[in-house]
A = this chain, B = another copy of it.
Amino acid sequence: MITLLSGFTGTGESQLNRNPWTETVPERADRLVRAGSMAEAIIVMPDGFTRYGGSQYLNSSATGRYEDHLVRELVPWVDRRYRTIPRPEARAIAGKSSGGYGALVQAMRHPDVWALVACHSGDMYFPYCYLPDFPKCLDVLARHGGTVERFLRAWQRMPRKADGALFPAINAIAMASCYSPNRRARLGFDLPFDLRTGAIVPAVWRRWLAWDPVQMVTRYRRNLRRLRLVYLDCGTRDEYHLQYGARMVAERLRRLGVRLVHEEFPDGHGNVQYRYDRSFALLSRAFARR
């Protein structure tokens, strides 16, 4: 069983989208199985979408208990319904971008559920992948009334929400809903910067950093050592510079003695589903070794 998490703004269903000159996930898996590159597997594509575009597959009082959903609801349900091998060594969690982040975090925190993980171009080293968007988010908010509430009201009314120019704002808001929820805050979460001066709020930023895989791997070293395979890759031209985070994580995992495969490839962040060819084969082999 491979649980495949979609990236930010994606859903389980969107992994079945038809894109030009590209296989869907089922077509890809079928080809790999036919070619003998991977064994047959049950591929599960769960949904982690929220009103802001994504949950990072974490529990948050602002958006919902997505982490629990995966390990407490989804896995047992799939085990009941399908012919699975209901043991961690037969379960992989994989994903790309925010889905890669989610996969890695799940594996760190639930080695009793998943013993294999493939993280493609996953969010890591937040000072490079999120912080540079903060002033851009502030710029977008400034153009839409200056508060998150007013921005969100304007955005709700926009017919075209997936606008590239708005992305840094949506993204920062979504990440705040995942990393710094706050029941007492008006919106249900704290922003990591002051809305007027833009100054980073250290107390909130530290809460974000506690969810940065670069920091988490040390904390979860015992769990990580229990995993059968950690596969990590990233493009060397990643637009969010995630290859640097991946190198930091890989370096630490190697030092901790974790079973790691770390690869880089000459491409950017988007449309790199073709990397599943590699991870599915490796996961399959790691499954098979049992």
Residues of A within 8 A of B (CB): 9-11, 13-14, 16-22, 49, 53, 125, 127-128, 131-132, 134-136, 138-139, 142, 159-162, 196-200, 214, 236-237, 241, 243-245, 247-248, 251, 267, 270-272, 274
Q: Which residues of B contact A200 (CB under 8 A)?
A: 127
Q: Is the CB of B17 within 8 A of A17?
A: yes
Q: Which residues of B contact A53 (CB under 8 A)?
A: 20-21
A/B interface sample: 18 pairs, CB < 8 A = A11-B18, A11-B20, A14-B18, A14-B19, A17-B18, A17-B19, A20-B162, A21-B161, A22-B162, A127-B200, A128-B134, A128-B135, A135-B244, A159-B267, A197-B247, A198-B243, A198-B245, A199-B214
Copies per assembly: 4
Q: Which residues of B contact A135 (CB under 8 A)?
A: 128, 241, 244
Expressed in whole angstroms, the minimum distance between the Cβ of A192 and any Cβ of chain B is 11
Q: Is the CB of A198 within 8 A of B13?
A: no
Q: Is the CB of B9 within 8 A of A18?
A: no
Complex Cα gap A248–B201 (Å): 13
Q: Which one of A10, A17, A19, A20 has the highest number of Cβ atoms from chain B below 10 Å of its Cβ?
A: A20
Given A17-B18, A22-B161, A135-B244, 12 more pairs with CB closer than 8 A:
A11-B20, A14-B19, A14-B20, A17-B19, A20-B53, A125-B198, A128-B198, A160-B267, A196-B247, A197-B244, A197-B251, A199-B248
Expressed in whole angstroms, the minimum distance between the Cβ of A136 and any Cβ of chain B is 8
Complex Cα gap A270–B159 (Å): 12
Q: Which one of A21, A127, A139, A196 has the highest number of Cβ atoms from chain B below 10 Å of its Cβ?
A: A21
Q: Which residues of B contact A19 (CB under 8 A)?
A: 14, 17, 162
Q: Which residues of B contact A245 (CB under 8 A)?
A: 198
Q: Is the CB of A271 within 8 A of B160?
A: yes
Q: Which residues of B contact A21 (CB under 8 A)?
A: 53, 161-162
Q: Which residues of B contact A236 (CB under 8 A)?
A: 142
Q: Which residues of B contact A49 (CB under 8 A)?
A: 20
